[in-house]
Each structure stands twice: as C-alpha cells, then as structure tokens.
Amino acid sequence: ESEEESEETETGSEDSEDGTESEEELTEHKKQMLKRKQEAAERRRKRHEEALASRSKDNLRSPICCILGHVDTGKCFGKGTPVLMYDGSICAVETIQAGDQVMGDDSTPRNVSGVTSGKGLLYKIIPTNNPSAQPFVCNDAHILVLKITSLPYIQHQEIKGQFCLNYFIYNKNTNLIKKANKFYTYPTSQFQTKYHAKMAANKDLKLLNSDKNQNLFCPSISGDAGLEIVRTDFIWQPSITQFLSCSSEVQSAVNMFTPNRVRFSIREGAFAKIIERIIGSPITNNIIKFYAWLTGYWIGTNFVMFNTKTESDSQDVVVSLFDELGILRRKDIPEIMMYEDLDLVRLPMLAGIINSKGLYNSQDDVIKLTLMDDNNAKNFVKISRSCGLRASISDPQNTCIIYKASTIPSVFYRSNCKINDHKQNQSWGFQIKELGVGEYFGFVVDGNHRFLLGDFTVTHNTKLLDKIRQTNVQEGEAGGITQQIGATYFPMETIKAKTALLNKDNKQDYKLPGLLIIDTPGHESFTNLRSRGSSLCNIAILVVDIMHGLEPQTLESLRLLRDRKTPFIVALNKIDRMYDWKPISDNSFLDSLSKQSESVKREFEDRVEKTILAFAEQGLNSVLYYENKNFARNVSLVPTSAITGEGIPDMLMLLVNLTQSRMSDELMYLSELECTVLEVKVIEGLGTTIDVVLSNGVLNEGDKIVLCGLNGPIVTTIRALLTPQPLRELRVKSAYVHHKSVKAALGIKISAQDLEKAIAGSRLMVVGPDDDEEDLKDEVMSDLKSLLSSIDKSGKGVCVQASTLGSLEALLEFLRTSKIPVSGINIGPVYKKDIMRAATMLEKAKEFAVILCFDVKVDKEIQDLADELGIKIFKADIIYHLFDQFVAYNKEIVEQKRKDQAPQAVFPCTLKIVPGAIFNKRDPIIIGVDVVEGTLRTGTPLCVVKIDPTTNQREIISLGKVTSMEQNHKTVEIAKKGHTGAGIAIKIESAVYESSKMVGRHFLETDEIYSKVSRVSIDILKESFRDDLNKEEWALIIKLKKILDIN
C-alpha cells in the first residue's frame, strides 16, 4: 500500500511538473508578445519624435476647414412636401435623412449630405395653367428652376409708327432678368419706309435667335459686363426673393417644368426577366412592349379570371404572367411596372389602359378615363407624369385626364390616338402667395443640386461652398480648384485671385500652400475628423442665417465646436435677403455695404446686434471681423451671401490670416501618417470603398493598412488611390483618376478588399517594416473599446445607435453629461438583433426600452418589429433633439408608472389628536389632528402602536384609511407639518372586511398616530416618488421602520 501511494505521489508530481511547464510556456508567450508590442510602441514613439523634430515653419500643410451650422440656402419646403426618391418612392421632406438618394433632373441620384429645419417666412407656389402640377410650400430662400418661354419677339406699334423688338437680358452679377427693347421708327433717315423698319427688325430678331455672338446685336451686352441675352432653353435659378423683385413681365414670361422623361435605372429589367422566364427563350423589345400593352389593357377591363387552367392542366403565357404580377383577380397596376423602362414598358402599359378604357378628344388632344380604384388612379397619374405627360385626377370618381395625349404610343388605334415620338417636356406658369412665418424642412444634395418633387417638378438647392468654389457641372471647374473625395482643395493661387480685391497694395503675405475645405456639410464630417478624441479640423466656418439668427442646428454645431475646442469664424450668411440690398457680385463686404442705402445699413446693424446678443446668451463674445482687436477672446462675424458671393473674399482672407499667423505650429507638415475615415461607400465597379482625409504623411498604392471594423480590426492592402475627374467629366463612366502616391493634406477614396465593416470616424494606420501588426490592430480598435466603457455596469440604460464612430462618441458624451445610462451601443443601421437587445429592458426598466438613433436609417420592417415588441425608436440628426424626445417619453412613462403605483404609495407622517377634538368615535372615526412630522394625504392608511404592559409585546392596530380632510371648512388633499394651523379634521374609514375601531376602546386621545408604511410602499416611494420626499421625510421613514418593525 505504501508503495502504491508512493507511485501515485510520484505520478502526481510529474503531472504537476507538466502543468507548471505549460503554464510557464503560456506566460513566456505572453511576455514575448508584450515585449514585442512594447518595442513596436517604442519605435512608433521614436518615429513620432523624429517627425516632430523635422518639422519646419517653412513647410506648412494646408489647413483643414469644416463648414457647420446653417450650411444650406434655398432648399427648404413646408412640412409634408413630397419629394421623389431615386428608387421611385415618394417621401415627405421632413422624413428625408442624410445618406438618402433623391431623384435628379437627369434621372441620376442626388446624394443627401445634410438636412435642416427651422422657422421662417413661407410662400405657396400655385400652378396656374397645369392641373397636373401640384402646389407646394417653400421658404423665401428656396431656389426655383425656371425656363424662359417668351423668346425675343416683334411688336408693330402702328400709332407710334415703329416696330419694337422685345427681348430679355440676364445679369449674372445679380442673378436677375429684365426686359429690354429696341425700336425701329419710320419714316426716318435710317428707315425711310415701314418695310425698311420691318426688315431691320426681322434681321435683328434672326440674329438674336441664332448662335452668333450677341455683341453683333448690342455691343454693350458682353460676358465681361456680366450680361447675357436670354435665348432658347435658358434656365434661370432665382430665389423666391429674387424672383419677386423682377417685373411682372419677367414673372409672366417664365415657367416651371418637368423633365420629358424620368428613368428609374435601378429598378428596370424585372418585367422582361419575368416574361423571358415564362416563355423560356430570349425575347425582343417588341415582345416586351406587347406584353406591357396587354397588361395595361387587362387592367383596364372589368372582368377577372377564375378558371386559370387549360385542358393540358398547365397555364398559358398570358395567364402565367398575370398570375405572377398578381392581377388575375385584382386589377392593381403592378409596382414593378411603374418604375420600368419608359419606352418598353411604361408608355405601352399606359396605352393599353387607354385602349381599354379611354375616350380621346382629338380637338383638345385630351384623353379621359375612369378607374374604379383610388390607388390605381393615383398610380396611373404618377406613371403619366414620370413619362413627362400632364395628368390629373379631376373628380372624386377617379376620372383621370391626360393632356397632350397624342404623344402616347398606342399599339392599336383607338379613337384616333396617334403614335408619336415622345420628346415634349411640360412647362406651366405659376403664382406665388405669401403665407407668413411657419416651419420648414430641407436638405443639401450634390451634383447640379437639381432634384424632383413628388409631381416631378424640377427644383434646386445650393450651399455656401458652391459660391466659394464658384463652379457647377455646366461650367466645369474654376482654374486650380480641385474637387477631391469629400473635400475641395483651393490652391493659394486661386485664393490670391479671389482675395485680390482686398490686396490691392500687394502687402498681404501668403504662406500656406492652400486650403482644404471639407465638402460634406454639417456635424457628421466634423465629428468624424477626429484622432484619439481630439479634432483634426484646424478651423471651422459656422454658418448663421442673418435673417433667422441661431437656429437649432447652429446651437448643435456650436456645442460640438466647444466640446472639441476648435477655433471658428462665423459666416453671417444671406445678407442679400435684406430688403432693398443692392448686390455686387463677388465683392468685398465693406465695399458693398458702403454702396447701400441708409435704411439697409440700419437693418444690417440691427440684425448684427441681435446676432451678437444671441451669441452672448451662449456665453460667447462676437464682433464684426473688421472690428475684432482680440481674436483669442472674440468670435469674428463675416457677413456673406452664398447667392451673390459678397463677403466671400473677406472670409477667405480671414481664414488665411488666422491659420498662418495663429496656427503655424500645428500646420507644420508632419511626415508621420495621420489619416481618418470620413465615409464608407459602395461604388459601382469598385465595391465598398472608404473616403478618407489625409491630414499628414503619405499614402502609397500597395500599402498594407489597418483600420477599425465593426467585427474587429481590418487588415487589407490599398488597391487604388482615387480622386475624381474634373467636374465637367463627372458623368464619364471612368469617373476617377488613379494615383500611385498621395501627400497630405487632401481627401481621397481608397479601394481595397474587406472594407464592408469599416467604421467611419476611425483612424487608418499603415503597417511599416518596423511595425508590429498586432500592436496596430489594438491601437485602431482602442477608440471603439474606450466607448464600450460608457455602458452602465448595472445593465440598465438606453441603447444607442450612430452612423459613425465620431457621431457615437459625441452622442455618448452628451448622454453622460445628461446622466442618461447606456446599456448597449452599435454603429450602422438598426437590425433585428438591436431590437431584441433593447427588448431585454422591457422587464428590467421599461423607460429604457428605447433605441436612440443618431443619423441612422431604420427600415420599415425593423420599425414594425419594434412597434410590435413595444420598443421605442427615436431618430434625429441633432443630438439634443434625441435627448428631448427621450426625456418627453421617459416623463410620460414615469408619470404613468406613478399613476399606477399611487394607490400603494404611503407617505410618512405622525399625527397627534387635538385635545377634545373627537367628533365621532367609530364608523367613521372623525377627529381633529395636528401633523407632527411628514405629510398627510387623502388615502393614507393610519395605525397606532400599543405595548402590552404585562407581556411587553408590541401590537400594531390598523385604524383604516383617511377618506377626506377639512381645514377651516374647506376640503384639502394634503396637509403638511406646520401648515395645519389650529388642526385639521380627518375622516377615517375601515374596509368592509376589517373590524371597525373605536376611540377610547382601541386607542386613546393621547396616542400618537402613524401612517402605516410597509416594505412594498417604501420600495414604491424609492422607485417612483423619490423626489417628492425631502430629507426629513426620508429620516421619518427610517424612524417608522423601527416603530412598525419593518425589515
């Protein structure tokens, strides 16, 4: 036995030694890893120090500038205004979010980069001669897209003996149009007869309508003077204010319009695929047209199919098609056909419906047809408008009217309905009616800024950066300015040209290579320009509408700037909207102001004073930039106009001076890489790409990069470094220029594999020859890990969803300071798993069963799931709007909870019976009392405590509940200590199942009476009524717990 024990001991010791060895090996491995990381971190630190040491004030990089606040102009609508989305759906303007795509006037998408809202003067645009066009509401800065339909024409004024040639002149500097005339009087030395005068007028009219130089007609009209004669297809884009300042002749000569055709490219082809699958062989365009027409004809008929089987027990092609489209028994226009190819599907389908139902009036070129279903009538009109046709519903019986009906390619002739090429676009006149001050909503889009409303009307928006850049798709790029990914780069030569007005003596010193302005407006880009929590934005432009002051988005931007300690200047925008302002295009502000009337100057001073006061209320000193003597203490206000360009030279000059004189240390070029992901985008032909801002260092094609991902660090290799072609070539399929190497500071698109889960707002790092890849992985993920520490350890709190790392960081900081606990965080769209995670709060704390979505889209099915489970989803693009929504909801929940728990809540009090004030001894007990401690409320259960003198045992006697109270013959609900005066009369009644108590038998006049608190009632007070009790009352609860023996 002893030997066996010895063997076991030896074996055990051997096992122990093996275990020790494996533990030692594991520990050694960890030590080696830690050592490697430390060495790598040390190498990075040394590189950083070397890079800092090699910096020079002679080698400055371009400052990075963000534009925040009221970045938009001319794109705001009244609530409910329908906007056509790129996928063909229609959304109310207030529901549109950053990242959405609206339909452009050329059937390509316009990306929404920012949204806005506010209150201002609203106008109603009312179509006058087109029943298919819908009125809409917009603000006074909204930009109309108009066509001049009244081209040059000749009038014979016989009484005056002259011909008058009428034409319109456009002033580029003021963006206004005025009517002009040229007279041909006869008989004169120039025109001896009426015939000569008429011939001369006709010759000039022909010249005006030709492509020849307009100087041949009128030498004073030239491009140098900013004047242009209005000719065919001229498009004018005035703000409401500018339009109303023109003469009535000009106003009546312009029309709104729709495109002659709208394509929904992303939804085309599904109908053809269905037919091809059913037929089982390739199909031609004529086959597609025929079945589209047949579908329309079937929808227009009044009968349905019940027996869909043939003799061979198989469906034929037509029945199979109608069955798949869901129209055998229900005659709804199939949704897939509403967005199909215009010539192959939509127009033939319309023709089919018309051939089945329509009545054609050849005299008026009008078709009328009645559709029984409301939805079908609306969809019929929508398809017609998408094809550029005038269509409307004329009465409650769903009678649809199509104007210019001869443009519809009817497959079979019916009532002389012709087959014509469809080339007309519709235009119509309109009136403008002032509505007064109201709420508006809007958004900023890219491209040429033109997009379509729900009735396919072409409209427009623009922004301050466009005026700084002074470019558009039609004109191409201004010299030297390059449009980069997510940013616009202004070389110093261009800035010199733009600020030449302010540098006539050539004394201005320009030390910077240029200026990099982040293109995407609003807080999203700003929050993403971050590195380890601090901002990479060197200076910001906070745009404030001089007409409306500090709006919600301005205050949001102001909070972000303060949180990141970012210096900024204020662009006091829209000075051109002050009454009677005389614009001078691209002029310096002070020069423009000096040429204004005294009344305009007074209005300007008044509005500036109000703005300064508004900033003072936010704790900031602000002064006009030319009066600012202390830039460290005061914020500079630069009056500007995004429409006329006035003040833009002043703003650029101020940016240059502030950055090169006060920020030269931080602008010294650093060879160490500093790069931030701005956006993650899917690009056709490239897959998932990232848009980055390279603020320091160099990136090369083929570099191995590490960045933060939703599911962990991403390690990949740069396949391509891309910047766009010049703007004039953006519609070319190969829209990007490839670079082998790029140097800071600039915005660039990176194409690489595995970028789908990349997080916007995170750092991008390059793996160098001396770097440890694992160390860099930990480094890039550290930002996300630090945010995970924001989750409340108790497990109770709201769930937070944001679009980017920067947005999430900003929101979590706000919630932390607002003392709102967080139980879960995520980046990107809301998925089912996020709803289920939030649902765990329904049992723990219903008020926290909430998802706060900051700049995040929520699909309808996800919203439906949340509604079904009782999860509240709050969406906003301004942080404190989310906060307000949550606080309001939380208050509602708490109030409901209080209401439900109120009958069980017992507030603490002790009472003394007033001597001689026993008015009824039992059933009910009516006595006069003084409140010695606490608060007595109607409904409070009362008790007395008796000590048995023989057994010394404590007995608690329940007296019943206080059912009513009176003081000085007036009914009261609450009586507090010290407020009862000479006492208060109370009625005490027992429940029917309790034996009634009697004064003198069960308790005496000298006994102290207590509110009968319990463990349950105390817990309810803690949970829902904590703030209703003061410190003395909480102390009284502790006292009553001892008296009533409550654990």
Burial of 535 (C-beta count, 10 Å sphere; 0-12/13-18/19+): buried
Query: Is 260 a domain residue?
Result: no
CATH of the domain at 561: 3.40.50.300
CATH of the domain at 1021: 2.40.30.10
Tokens 């930039």 label which residue? 625
Number of domains in the chain: 7
Distance of CA 798 to the CA centre of its chain: 22
Q: Pinpoint the alpha helices (H) of 677-831.
A: 773-788, 805-817
Q: Are residues 184 and 270 in the same domain?
A: no
CATH of the domain at 140: 2.170.16.10
Query: Is 63 a domain residue?
Result: no
Distance of alpha carbon 96 from alpha carbon 451, whole angstroms: 13
Query: Is 920 a domain residue?
Result: yes
Q: Are 98 and 464 in contact (CB under 8 A)?
A: no
Distances (CA, A) of 1040 to 540, 906, 912, 1026: 61, 12, 15, 17
Query: Is 680 a domain residue?
Result: yes
Would you state the pLDDT for residue 662?
84
Would you state the pLDDT for residue 433?
92
| Cα distance between the two ends of the chain | 59
Tokens 């909204």 label which residue? 142
Burial of 560 (C-beta count, 10 Å sphere; 0-12/13-18/19+): buried
Q: Are 936 and 1014 in contact (CB under 8 A)?
A: no
Distance of alpha carbon 645 from alpha carbon 648, whole angstroms: 6
Q: Of 640, 662, 684, at which residue does a domain stop?
A: 662
Q: Are residues 796 and 770 in the same domain?
A: no
List, run by run, the mean pLDDT of 10-residue segments along the chain (1047 residues): 38 44 64 75 75 75 79 68 90 84 88 74 86 82 83 87 89 82 90 91 84 60 68 81 86 86 86 89 89 87 61 66 85 87 87 81 76 80 81 73 65 40 62 88 80 85 60 40 60 86 87 77 55 68 86 78 87 86 88 93 94 93 93 93 86 91 81 83 80 88 91 91 56 64 85 88 86 84 78 82 80 82 86 90 85 84 90 81 82 84 90 90 91 92 88 87 90 84 86 86 91 92 87 92 87
Would you state the pLDDT for residue 370?
80
**DSSP character string of 256-323:** EE--S----GGGTTHHHHHHHHHHTS---HHHHHHHHHHHHHHHHSS---S----TTSS--HHHHHHH
Given its phi and psi angles, is residue 619 left (phi above 0), alpha (psi -120 to 50 degrees) or beta? Answer: left
Distances (CA, A) of 793 to 414, 796, 822, 849, 883: 75, 8, 9, 17, 21
Distances (CA, A) of 52 to 57, 450, 660: 12, 47, 18
**DSSP character string of 327-377:** -SSS-PPPHHHHTS-IIIIIHHHHHHHHHHH-EEETTTTEEEEE-S-HHHH
Q: Are residues 715 and 747 in the same domain?
A: yes
Q: Are residues 524 and 552 in the same domain?
A: yes
> What pTM was estimated for this model as a whole?
0.60
The amino acid at 1027:
D
The two structure tokens encoding residue 725: 């072609």
Sequence-ordered list of residues with C-beta below 8 angstroms from that of 275, at least 6 positions apart, any chain = 283, 287, 288, 291, 321
Of residues 46, 41, 134, the one with CA closest to residue 90: 134
Beta strand ranges found along 462-578 (DSSP E): 462-463, 482-484, 487-491, 514-518, 530-531, 534-535, 539-545, 568-573
Tokens 């130089």 label which residue? 213
The two structure tokens encoding residue 576: 């051109």
Q: Of 615, 634, 662, at which residue does a domain stop?
A: 662
Distances (CA, A) of 1043 to 162, 317, 1008, 1029: 112, 89, 11, 20
Distances (CA, A) of 242 to 123, 138, 143, 387: 13, 14, 9, 31
Query: Is 50 a domain residue?
Result: no
In terms of residues, how long is the chain?
A: 1047
Residue 584 exposure: Cα atoms within 13 Å on the Cβ side = 13
Q: Are residues 304 and 172 in the same domain?
A: no
Distance of CA 229 to the CA centre of its chain: 40
DSSP state of 1014: -
Q: What angle do CA 795, 800, 802 make, to 5 degrees?
A: 155
Tokens 């010299």 label which residue? 479
Would you state the pLDDT for residue 981?
67
Q: What are phi and psi of 107, to 5 degrees?
A: 65, 20
The amino acid at 616:
A
Q: Are residues 898 and 909 in the same domain?
A: no
Q: What angle do CA 101, 103, 107 make, to 5 degrees?
A: 125
Q: Are residues 350 and 271 in the same domain?
A: yes
Pairing of strands 674-683, 763-766: antiparallel
- Please give, one letter per residue, the 3-state secondary structure of 71-117: CEECCEEECCCEEEECCCCEEEHHHCCCCCEEEECCCCEEEEEEEEE
Q: What angle do CA 1020, 1024, 1027 make, to 5 degrees?
A: 115
Of residues 345, 292, 382, the one with CA closest to residue 103: 382
Q: Are residues 433 and 420 in the same domain?
A: no
Q: What angle do CA 806, 810, 815 make, to 5 degrees?
A: 145
Residues forming beta bridges with residue 639, ordered by sequence position: 572
Rg value, the chain, Cα = 38
Distance of alpha carbon 97 from alpha carbon 93, whole angstroms: 9
Query: Is 703 a domain residue?
Result: yes
Q: Which domain holds residue 714?
A: 674-784
Distance of alpha carbon 1011 from alpha carbon 1007, whole angstroms: 13
Q: Are 708 and 768 in contact (CB under 8 A)?
A: no
Pairing of strands 153-157, 736-739: unpaired
**DSSP character string of 800-836:** EEESSHHHHHHHHHHHHHTT--EEEEEESS--HHHHH
Secondary structure of residue 434 in the 3-state scheme: strand
Q: Are residues 602 and 488 in the same domain?
A: yes
Query: Is 966 a domain residue?
Result: yes
Distance of alpha carbon 59 from alpha carbon 50, whole angstroms: 16
Would you state the pLDDT for residue 570?
94
Q: Of 902, 934, 956, at which residue does a domain stop?
A: 902
Distance of alpha carbon 528 from alpha carbon 537, whole angstroms: 10
Residues forming beta bridges with residue 688, ordered by sequence position: 682
A 10 A CB-CB count for 765 gives 24
Would you state the pLDDT for residue 412?
39
Query: Is 57 a domain residue?
Result: no
Q: Are residues 379 and 276 in the same domain?
A: yes
Q: Are residues 103 and 163 in the same domain?
A: no
Burial of 191 (C-beta count, 10 Å sphere; 0-12/13-18/19+): buried
CATH of the domain at 889: 3.40.50.10050
Q: Are residues 207 and 134 in the same domain?
A: no
Residue 768 exposure: Cα atoms within 13 Å on the Cβ side = 13
Secondary structure of residue 255 in the 3-state scheme: strand
**DSSP character string of 617-685:** HTT-EEEEGGG-S-TTTEEEEEE--TTT-TTHHHHHHHHHHHHHHHSTTTTB--SS-EEEEEEEEEETT
